[in-house]
Structure 1
Amino acid sequence: MSPAERKTKRRVLAENEEEGDFRFLGEPVADKEARCRWPHRYAVKQKRKQNAVLKDSKGEDDSEEFIDAKRHFTQAEVDGQIFNLEDDAYVQAEVGKRNYICKIVEMFEGTDGMPYFTAQWFYRAEDTIITECHEFIDEKRVFFSEVKNDNPLDCLVKRLRIARLPPNMDLECKDAAKSNCDYYYDMMFLEPHCTFISLPPENNGAGSDSGSTISSEADATGAVASGVEVSQEANHLEMRLLDLYSGCGAMSTGLCLGAYSTGVKLVTKWAVDVNKYACESLKWNHPETEVRNESAENFLLLIKEWERLCVSYALVESNVLPHPYVSSSNEQVDEVGGDDEDDDVDDSDGNSSEVFDVKEVLAMCYGDPKESGAVGLYCKIRWKGYGPDDDTWEPIDGLSDCQEKVKEFVTKGYKRKILPLPGNVDVICGGPPCQGISGFNRFRNTDQPLQDEKNKQLAVFMDIVAFLKPRFVLMENVVDLIKFSKGYLGRYAFARLLAMNYQARLGMMAAGAYGLPQFRMRVFMWGAVPKEKLPQYPLPTHDVVVRGVVPKEFESNTVAYEEGSKVELEKELFLEDAISDLPPVENDEPRDEMPYGGASKTEFQNFIRLRKDEMPGSLGFGLEVAPHLLYDHRPLQLNRDDYSRVCQIPKKKGANFRDLPGVRVRADNKVEWDPDIERVYLPSGNLWYLIML
């Protein structure tokens, strides 16, 4: 149970007051000052009743009784301990639970004569979306919130020392600060979309209700003006994006187009995917992108090796050790007294074996490109006197006599940024494979979801984020991320971001709510370094036909307008709105491209016909429009028998072979031939219908 959910029980305090277990100390705050600092406690009761009636008429929950104050205090004694206004303290929890943690932001005597304090709550990681994944978060780390409520004074248990630490604090200083406190906090937790953001400036007083602790999320980052300045500067700078599990590049393309439309030049500099054909498609459409056809694990190992090589050749400064290849090569050069690749080879044994000289290094990868069973760092070599057909992958350990060639490749590659390095990636986006958690997978590992090879990619994604330290992170996945195994994988990903000191939030958006003819709900997780403003989610633009179920715990993470808001949305879209303009095709259609044969019929069709350079946000937007062609509008070519069979399927929703004449569906849902109907044969002599019983 989180602090916000706890139900406090007001005790009968008369006997305790006589014993002196808890009481206010000192003179009360002057009436004028108290009314200035806490005006809501002294509001006219009639006005409050009117507000309560108004809330009730709107259907708003007003279950927590508001307490009027008779007078305020700044100090109290509970069980012999002195508590001051603005102190941090433990608050008594239910039996068997750890005490809650709060800041005392108000002390007052109610009009009922009882002593109260107002708690502004701190959340432990386990009190948030993270729950059982709290092991990734420091036990002493808590998160400040805007949640406040009133409690009997005798609920206070013990004073605490809670330190406010700046983000990205030096590790040594942080350890020293942690040793001198009970808890520390460096972020704020907001319940909408389970948001963790940077703390507001320290001069925002917490002891007064004259305003919210943070009036907006822009204020909460601590720099509204500086955020604007950064954005204006970004107009003239290129922001670099790495697209992991990129497929054909749809996610990064959409992000870049959206960024362009706001004046930010976001460029997909690198992309990684295991599918060869997806990589070829992405490279065709984005020739400026360094596309790597390899697993994310091997990519991570490669960029770690790349950093060490760059350090070895003094291209970057880092605390990592130089690459062993460079140091071992230098030792060998020292032993022979030089590194002259053009020296003649003295074949004293009279052997006439051919000597291969390296012309240049073409590429690098980590893995086993030769399929020899030896995994490691490899270089693609162009040999002197040979052409591209004879290029080979060679382990870097075997190229100790080609130091200059390797150095030349690394130096040129560093200048061209062929691989990302820590600190030079602005955005990482990606959707790790979801087959391991999909509801269509009957063999999901519920007990240990991260043991599934595909689910492990979630950990690899976060490992790459941890290594490259981008300014922003955006991860997308299916809703099963927060449904499967009690949402363990979603909680894990969120905990990893927080452990890396990223601001974070989690939201769910349905594609249909933004103008697509399908529901398609997806989870989006944002991360941002402390100095940046954590991006918001765009609000829906269209009505949508809702499908599927969202876990009750995460209902508030759905991106939507506030309940009761009156918003005019665009009409929902259906399949007809998307494909009604497509020309008919026959089974033997051979063309890769063809004219549409008519004008578009809907706004969606107008948009979907656009090429990339015609879309809003594109650098080519506004240029002369060329005729639009329809690409790849071809069916899978069927043989005559199969084509004849397909033509018999009724044209209605959900139809399949069970709807064919001559097929009977039994009570157990199995199919069989109908013995009362004569079998029909194709001209080829085969049966019309082939049924697997």
Structure 2
Amino acid sequence: SQLNNFSCSGSSENAPLKAKFHYREGSVDGVVYQLNDTAYVKAEDGKPDYIARIVEFFETSDNEPYFTAQWFYRAEDTVIKNHSGLVDNMRVFISDVKDDNPLDCILRKVNIAQVLPNVDLAEKRKEIPSCDLYYDMKYTVPYLTFSNIDNENVKIESENNAEKSDWSLLDLYSGCGAMSTGLCFGASISGIKLVTRWAVDMNKYACESLKLNHPETQVRNEAAEDFLNLLKEWEKLCNEFIFKPLESAASDEKADDEEPETQSDFEEFEVERFISVCYGDPNEQKKPGLYFKVQWKGYDSNYDTWEPIEGVSECKDAMRDFVTKGYKEKLLPLPGQADFICGGPPCQGVSGYNRFRNQKAPLEDVKNKQLIVYMDIIDFLKPKYVLMENVVDILKFAGGFLGRYAVGRLVSMNYQTRMGMMAAGSFGLPQFRMRVFLWGALPNQNLPAYPLPTHEVVSRAVIPTEFEEITVAYAANENCKLANAVYLKDAIKDLPAVNNDESQDERNYGTTPITDFQKYIRAPSGKLYDHLPYKLNKDDYERVCKIPKTKGANFRDLPGVIVKGRKVEWDPAVERVLLTSGKPLIPDYAMSFVRGTSTKPFGRLWWDEIVSTVVTRPEPHNQALLHPLQDRVLTIRENA
């Protein structure tokens, strides 16, 4: 019943091996290995040895000794790659990958312990027994997933989510709240009442819009890093005024009573109450810190001011009242109170529109700093679930540096993770808009799957080869019937004509919806809102009026240029045409954009096309944004 290492070839064949005998143990260089032992396995020269569990010993029909290995991954062997330093170097990840190898590839035994995953890293370290390596998750290639291990011997206690009536959500970089709103709708289908309790965004107009639509939400118009600092200060305040032992609080009150009253700072103004709190520089004096908004006794709200905590620290009663009220109303989340965090950290540092990207050290670029802040907030609040959204460039840029960092941070915090890439067009929208979504889930939660496509879509992007496994799609052998793709005509052809200088914000449709999309998207009131375009300046408007109203028309159809192959050039036989203002009809930037190969400047969309991605500033200088038949860019309503 023991398999000894004979003279082996040192490599396994691609063809399936036929086993003549199976064994319970094997011997390599005098060392006996049992089934389910773990061992280092010979790797290529210059590479670290592989790590495997021995799940089978057998002798082939050619009398060669072999073993079947179930492989472990180190962090650097996974999608995390060059961010493996984020993960404990003793930690490895079991896989479902198994293959057959010559017995003499086994080098030596390694002691690998299985431990329970635990988001409390300090507690987890206490539970790790004496060992060489340990594992608490498995890694699978589809969707580059880190997840709990299916093992009857080790049970992870799952939280009973059905017992929780409301789930609290924090929407970071919220904009107007579209992502959190969609998540709340989706959660309701699963019988979970998810409520957006908090939202954070730098844009005050987006915050005003979100608050108007979601009055129950605590909307904060501030930078995410200021919000993180505020959360840390809020926890300190709650510890002092809410969770402090009663004896300690009574002792403080007695000490306060013994101190002589000093109200020199408030001889003229006396604090009535605190009405808000923030971290930052609300008075714009370059003095960032914790501030309270004060309502002064005897004065109306016009006299409310932001005061640093150092200036009001003696007002204990007012501060206790404010913190107590804020704690009861969940003004801010404490660790463990936010069940769900969603958001898309700003991506300017990796966006293809940014010509000055830092390829060598992306995280040193201030434009990418928000990804670090986002993960720091997750680390502090420890939500049950995380959903991050971002542009595909986080996987294309610098070898996927930022995408790998995001996964590494979550795994280092002991979150299960799953990465998927989905196009909006695959779910019935007339734009492609491919985005990356990263799930995170605590070990005691189920790691969600991604919704499968419902519609055909016109592909408008290149998927990074290394990340093909995360494209959300049906398997090649699955027979499914998808709905027809939705095109521009299906979405906006029912809308009335408007001009470049349109100013009417509300109107009647005056038309009948034809397609299912048009019927679905109309408001119940029957009113048409925001059907006005970004107003072009006089020069751009004059240029747009000269673009033919045909499919594929763009600046190349204007006089004075010729096209050779893919590149546009000036026509030497034609004098440069000028606008009424004296500026050139065809601007230099249109000719030089993407080294003269782009057809996007002043390009018209067409009815049987889709929009690749809706952009924030809809100028036609480097995007095809013109209405098919009208001399203007798409309106706010058409873009929506």
TM-score interval, normalised by the smaller of the two chains: 0.7 to 0.9
Determine if the alignment matches structure 1 residue 168 to structure 2 residue 91.
no
Within-5 A mapping of 1:487-636: 487-610=400-523, 626-636=524-534
CA contact (8 A) 1:88 1:159 kept: yes
Q: Which residue of 2 aligns with 1:288?
A: 216
1:382 corresponding residue in structure 2 = 295
* Cα separation, 1, equivalents of 2:56 and 2:578: 86
The secondary structure found in structure 1 opposite 2:367 is coil
CA drift at 1:244: 0.4
- Note if contact 2:119-2:413 (Cα within 8 Å) is conserved in structure 1: no
One-letter amino acid of the counterpart of residue 528, structure 2: L
Number of residue pairs aligned between Structure 1 and Structure 2: 580
Flag the 1:476–1:79 CA change in 2: closer, same or farther, 3 A. Answer: same
Match of 1:55 in 2: none
What is the TM-score with the length of structure 1 in the denominator?
A: 0.78
SS of match in other structure, 1:454: helix
Partner in structure 2 of residue 333 of structure 1: 256
CA drift at 1:592: 1.5
Distance 1:406 1:546, change over 3 A: same
Identity score, percent:
54
Return 5+ residue gaps in structure 2 as ranges. Answer: 589-640
Q: Is the 8 A contact 1:664 1:674 kept in 2?
A: no
Please report how far the alpha carbon of residue 233 of structure 1 lies from its aligned counterpart in structure 2 after TM superposition.
Answer: 3.1
Aligned residue in 2 for 1:431 = 344
**1:545: how far off?**
1.1
Matching residue within 351, 355, 362 for 1:442: 355
8 A Cα contact 1:510 1:520, kept in partner: yes
Counterpart of 1:361 (choices 259, 270, 274) is 274
SS in 1 for 2:26: strand
Structure 1 residue aligned with 2:163: 233
Distance 1:82 1:411, change over 3 A: same
Give 1:201 shift.
2.7
Q: 1:253 aligns with which of 153, 158, 181?
A: 181
Q: Which structure has the larger Rg over C-alpha atoms? A: 1
Report the residue type matching 1:72 in the other structure.
H
Deviation string for 1:153-195 (max 9, x for gaps)? 1111111111000121875664455461010000011111011
Kept in 2: contact 1:329–1:401 (CA 8 A):
no
Distance 1:149 1:222 in 2: 29
Change (3 A) 1:63 1:92: closer
Change (3 A) 1:334 1:582: same
Q: Partner amino acid for 1:121?
A: W
For residue 554 of structure 1, report the CA deviation from its aligned partner. Answer: 0.5
**Distance in 2 (alpha carbons) for counterparts of 1:194 and 1:680:** 54
Which residue is equivalent to 2:634?
A: none
Counterpart Cα distance in 2 of 1:632 and 1:426:
35
| Residue in 2 that maps onto 1:103 | 53
Query: Where does 1:29-68 land on structure 2 (aligned, <5 Å)?
Result: 64-68=14-18
Alignment CA distance shift 1:155-1:195 (3 Å): same
Q: Offset of 1:427 from its aligned partner?
A: 0.5
| Shift in alpha-carbon separation, 1:659–1:16, aligned structure 2, 3 A | closer
Change in 2 beyond 3 A, CA 1:327/1:440: farther
Q: Is the 8 A contact 1:596 1:630 kept in 2?
A: yes
- Report how far residue 628 of structure 1 moved: 2.2
For the aligned residues, what is the CA RMSD?
3.1
**Aligned residue identity for 2:218:** E
- Aligned-residue offset at 1:103: 0.8
Q: CA deviation at 1:536?
A: 0.2
Q: How far apart in 2 are the matches of 1:395 and 1:533?
A: 43
Q: Could you say if the C-alpha distance between residues 673 and 315 of structure 1 is closer, same or farther in structure 2, counting changes exceeding 3 Å?
A: farther
**1:198 counterpart letter in structure 2:** N
Shift of 1:689: 6.0
Indicate if the aligned counterparts of 1:240 and 1:268 stay in contact, CA closer than 8 A: yes
- Separation in 2, partners of 1:199, 1:467: 26
Letter of the 1:635 counterpart: P
**Superposed displacement of residue 649, structure 1:** 2.9
* Corresponding letter in the other structure for 2:455: H
Query: Counterpart of 2:635?
Result: none
Q: Which residue of 2 aligns with 1:483?
A: 396
Q: Report the Cα distance in structure 1 between the residues aligned to 2:35 and 2:389, rounded to whole angstroms.
A: 44
Q: Is 1:150 matched with 2:100?
A: yes
- Superposed, which structure 2 residues align to 1:184-195 within 5 Å? 184-195=134-145
In structure 2, do the counterparts of structure 1 residues 403 and 543 end up closer, same or farther at CA, with 3 Å as the change threshold?
Answer: same
Matched residue, 1:9: none
* Higher mean C-alpha deviation, range 409-418 or range 646-655: 646-655
Q: Which amino acid aligns with 2:416?
A: Q
1:460 maps onto 2:397 in alignment: no
Judging changes above 3 Å, is the alpha-carbon distance between structure 1 residues 645 and 112 closer, same or farther for their aligned structure 2 residues?
A: closer
Q: Distance in 1 between matches of 2:221 and 2:462?
A: 36
Q: Which amino acid aligns with 1:582?
A: L
How big is the shift at 1:690? 5.3
| CA positional deviation for 1:385 | 1.6
Give 3-state SS (helix, strand or coil) of 2:196's partner.
Answer: strand
Paired residues of 1:645 and 1:688 also in contact (CA < 8 A): no
**Aligned counterpart for 2:225 among listed residues 297, 319, 325:** 297
CA–CA distance in structure 1, aligned partners of residues 476 and 227 of structure 2? 45
**Pick aligned residue for 1:278 from 206, 211, 229:** 206
| Contact preservation (8 Å) 1:163, 1:177 | no
Task: Name the CA distance, whole Å, in 2 between partners of 1:557 and 1:255.
Answer: 21
User: Which string of whole-angstrom CA distances, capped at 9 and with x for unpartnered residues, describes residues 234-274 of structure 1?
Assistant: 5xx10010000001111001111111122210111100000
- Which residue of structure 2 aligns with residue 36 of structure 1? none
What is the distance in 2 between the residues matched to 1:678 and 1:437? 37
Deviates more, 1:544-553 or 1:362-371: 544-553
For 1:411 and 1:249, locate their aligned partners in 2 and report how far apart those are by CA, in whole Å.
Answer: 28
Q: Please report how far the alpha carbon of residue 589 of structure 1 lies from its aligned counterpart in structure 2 after TM superposition.
A: 3.3
